[in-house]
Structures are given as structure tokens and as C-alpha cells.
């Protein structure tokens, strides 16, 4: 309950703003509502899928496909998995945790995060619609090597360190 | 959204008919993970709502519009890194920026930092990845986004 104090205070503030017609409270409340709708409509499903994935897929199997020895094929699989998803980046963190727990290599975990943030298909359709195919293609083309390099750097940085991704 | 919903339902049914106990254990585990991170997420969303109120659309268009040059580029990179704007708002906004004469490199760096760097969402990331790794990932992504923005500016 203690962890919800800020949220409760915020709710009181928004309700007060509505009662006393405070313009800024009203606007902030509207912004919050947009984000809250996004959070509450897709995160529960995401976590159900994560939970099911957790109980059904044994570590050995996942590790074989996207673990340390999986090479370029493993990279391909995590990018494909990421592209099929939707939602904001913070929704990818629990999935990344689970992938890691199941034996996914550090490099592939960060490639997953990179692909999730920049190559999700639902997002790409939006991007193409508003900014055009040429812009979207160029951006995708240059982003791909960038997040792969970032993942390699992260892997090198964490090599020989006892690193774990945690479940909050 | 609809895809995620139908996928979840189909997989849940398959899972349930194959093994009830396992399915219930899976749902419980997912729910527990969700509750574990929910308060942090709500706090972050509160911060984002306040941030978006302080920096409204009109201000963005003024800051990043025509002739804003290198200053505009850096402002775009910093604002994109801080904020968290869902795609259905960010892309129309980027299109408006282009229409208002913003340069392509500015729009590209704004979009890319929005996607890859998340300063306001750092509290969530740190819960999973720890402080140092989260900061390093964001710093590297920031540099990467600057490079992407510059290269796209050369091409478009």
C-alpha cells in the first residue's frame, strides 16, 4: 500500500482539480488518462503471456535457440519476436527479464530491447502512414546496426561480471 | 491491440486444455509480476503527464520548427530522450513538425530518441536492469540516436 502513496495523492489532486475547476490539473489528468488507458489495456495481456511462457518453455530449449551459442540465428529470432509485439518500451522489460532467465544471451536481450523500441510492426505502420515509406525505411536501415552495436558493447561490458536482470 | 488480445485468448485456451494446473500457475505468476512493477509504472506515468503539460505541442513546434538548426537538433534529442509519447501521438506530431518546416534530421533524432532513450522511464528500467546498466544503455542509445539523426539528415 505504501508504494501507492504518490498515485493516491495524484488522484486526490486530480479530483480536487475537477471540483475547483483548476485548468492545469484538468489537463494533467487528461494526459494521465491517455497513458493509463494504454497501460491497462495491454499490460495485463502481456503479463499473462509472459507467465504462460514462463511455465511452458524449459530453459534448455529457449537457451538453444537464443542463448550464447545461437549466433546469428538467435539474433534473428529475438528481432522477429520483438517486431511482432506492441506497446511502450517499459512493457518490454519484463519480457527481457524472462528471456534472460530462460537462458537468452545478454547480447540477444539487448538486441531484443533495441528491436522492440524501434522495429515493432504496429508502430512501423503508423510511422509509414505519417512520415512516409522512404523516411521509415531509412530510419529502420540505420537503426538496426546501431542497436546491434549497442548490444555487443553491453555484452562486452558485462563479460566476466556477475550480472543478473532482476524481477521487481 | 486486437492482435495481442486475440493471441492471448487463443494461447490461454490452448494452454488451458493442455494443462489446467500449469495454466493457472502461469497466470498467477504473470499477475504477480504485474503487481510487482505496477506502482513504479503509475508513478512514472504521473511524471510523464506533468512533463507533457509543461511542454505542450505548440511549444515543441516553436522550438523545433523552421530554421532551428543545431540548437533545434539538440533540443529535439533532449526532449525525445526525456519524454515518453506513444506512437499514435508522436508520429502525427512529427508530421506536423515537418509541415512546419522542421528539418528531417531534427524529426529523425526526435523520433529515434523517443523510441530508444527513456529518462522518465529509468525508474522502471533500473528495477529490472540495475542502475549502471540502465544508464549505460540509455547513454549509448542517445549517442546512437544522434548518429542516426545526422545520417538521415544527409539523405533527406
Q: Identify the band that residue A163 occupies on the pLDDT scale cut at 50, 70 and 90.
A: very high
Residue B27 CA: distances (Å) to CA of A16, A93, B11: 37, 18, 12
- Percent of chain B whose pLDDT exceeds 70: 99
When the pLDDT of each residue in chain A is averaged and rounded to a whole number, the result is: 93
State the pLDDT at residue A126.
Answer: 87
Cα–Cα dist A164/A65, whole Å: 20
* Residue A64 distance to chain B (closest CA, Å): 22
Q: Do B118 and A90 touch (CB under 8 A)?
A: yes
Contact residues, chain B, for A123 at CB < 8 Å: 87
- Percent of chain B whose pLDDT exceeds 90: 69
More confident residue, B151 or B85: B151
Select from A4, A31, A41 the Cβ nearest to the Cβ of B53.
A31
Cα B46 to its chain centre, rounded Å, is 15
* pLDDT tens figures, A120-149: 998 998 899 999 999 999 999 999 999 999
Contact residues, chain B, for A88 at CB < 8 Å: 84, 86, 121
State the pLDDT at residue B1.
Answer: 66
Q: What is the dihedral of CA B82, B87, B88, B89, to 10 degrees?
A: 20
- Which 117-146 residues of chain A touch chain B by CB within 8 A? 117-118, 122-123, 126-127, 129-131, 134-135, 138-139, 142-143, 146
Contact indicator for A102, A59 with CB cutoff of 8 Å:
yes
Q: Do A86 and B155 touch (CB under 8 A)?
A: no
Averaged pLDDT, A45-52: 91
Give this complex's ipTM.
Answer: 0.89
* pLDDT tens figures, B103-155: 999 999 999 999 999 999 999 999 999 999 999 999 999 999 999 999 999 99
* Residue B27 distance to chain A (closest CA, Å): 5
State the pLDDT at residue A151.
Answer: 98
Could you tell me the residue ranges of all domains in chain B? 1-39, 55-155
pTM of the model: 0.90
Q: Do A56 and B22 touch (CB under 8 A)?
A: yes
Is it the case that residue A40 has pLDDT exceeding 80? Answer: yes
Contact residues, chain B, for A131 at CB < 8 Å: 91, 94-95, 98, 107, 111
Q: Do A51 and B108 touch (CB under 8 A)?
A: no
Contact residues, chain B, for A129 at CB < 8 Å: 91
> What secondary structure, in 3-state letters, does chain B show?
CHHHHHHHHHHHHHHHHHCHHHHHHHHHHHHHHHHHHHHHHHHHHHHHHHHHHHCCHHHHHHHHCCCCHHHHHHHHHHHHHHCCCCHHHHHHHHHHHHHCCCCHHHHHHHHHHHHHCCCCCHHHHHHHHCHHHHHHHHHHHHHHHHHHHHHHHHHC
State the pLDDT at residue B124.
Answer: 96
Q: How many CB atoms lie within 10 A of CB A148?
A: 17
Is it the case that residue B2 has pLDDT exceeding 80? Answer: no
Is it the case that residue B92 has pLDDT exceeding 90? Answer: no
Averaged pLDDT, B7-25: 94
Amino acid at each position: 500500500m505504501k508504494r501507492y502513496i504518490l498515485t493516491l495523492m495524484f488522484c486526490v489532486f486530480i479530483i480536487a482539480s475537477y471540483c475547483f475547476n483548476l485548468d492545469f490539473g484538468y489537463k494533467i489528468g487528461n494526459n494521465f488518462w491517455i497513458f493509463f488507458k494504454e497501460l491497462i489495456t495491454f499490460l495485463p495481456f502481456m503479463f499473462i503471456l509472459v507467465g504462460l511462457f514462463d511455465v511452458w518453455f524449459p530453459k534448455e530449449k529457449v537457451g538453444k535457440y537464443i542463448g550464447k551459442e545461437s549466433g546469428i540465428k538467435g539474433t534473428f529470432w529475438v528481432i522477429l519476436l520483438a517486431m511482432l509485439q506492441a506497446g511502450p518500451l517499459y512493457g518490454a522489460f519484463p519480457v527481457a527479464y524472462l528471456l534472460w532467465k530462460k537462458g537468452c544471451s545478454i547480447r540477444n536481450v539487448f538486441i531484443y530491447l533495441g528491436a522492440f523500441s524501434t522495429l515493432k510492426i504496429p508502430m512501423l505502420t503508423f510511422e509509414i502512414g505519417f512520415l512516409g515509406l522512404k523516411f521509415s525505411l531509412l530510419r529502420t536501415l540505420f537503426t538496426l546496426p546501431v542497436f546491434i552495436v549497442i548490444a555487443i558493447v553491453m555484452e562486452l561490458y558485462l563479460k566476466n561480471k556477475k550480472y543478473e536482470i532482476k524481477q521487481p | 491491440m486486437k492482435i495481442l488480445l486475440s493471441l492471448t485468448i487463443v494461447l490461454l485456451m490452448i494452454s488451458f486444455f493442455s494443462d489446467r494446473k500449469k495454466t493457472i500457475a502461469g497466470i498467477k505468476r504473470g499477475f504477480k509480476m504485474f503487481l510487482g512493477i505496477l506502482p513504479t509504472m503509475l508513478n512514472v506515468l504521473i511524471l510523464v503527464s506533468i512533463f507533457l503539460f509543461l511542454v505542450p505541442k505548440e511549444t515543441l513546434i516553436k522550438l523545433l520548427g523552421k530554421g532551428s538548426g543545431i540548437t533545434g537538433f539538440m533540443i529535439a534529442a533532449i526532449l525525445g530522450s526525456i519524454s515518453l509519447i506513444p506512437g499514435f501521438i508522436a508520429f502525427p506530431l512529427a508530421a506536423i513538425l515537418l509541415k512546419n518546416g522542421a528539418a528531417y534530421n531534427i524529426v529523425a533524432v526526435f523520433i529515434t530518441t523517443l523510441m530508444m532513450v527513456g529518462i522518465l522511464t529509468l525508474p522502471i528500467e533500473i528495477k529490472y536492469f540495475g542502475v549502471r546498466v540502465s544508464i549505460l544503455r540509455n547513454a549509448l542509445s542517445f549517442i546512437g540516436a544522434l548518429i542516426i539523426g545526422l545520417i538521415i539528415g544527409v539523405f533527406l
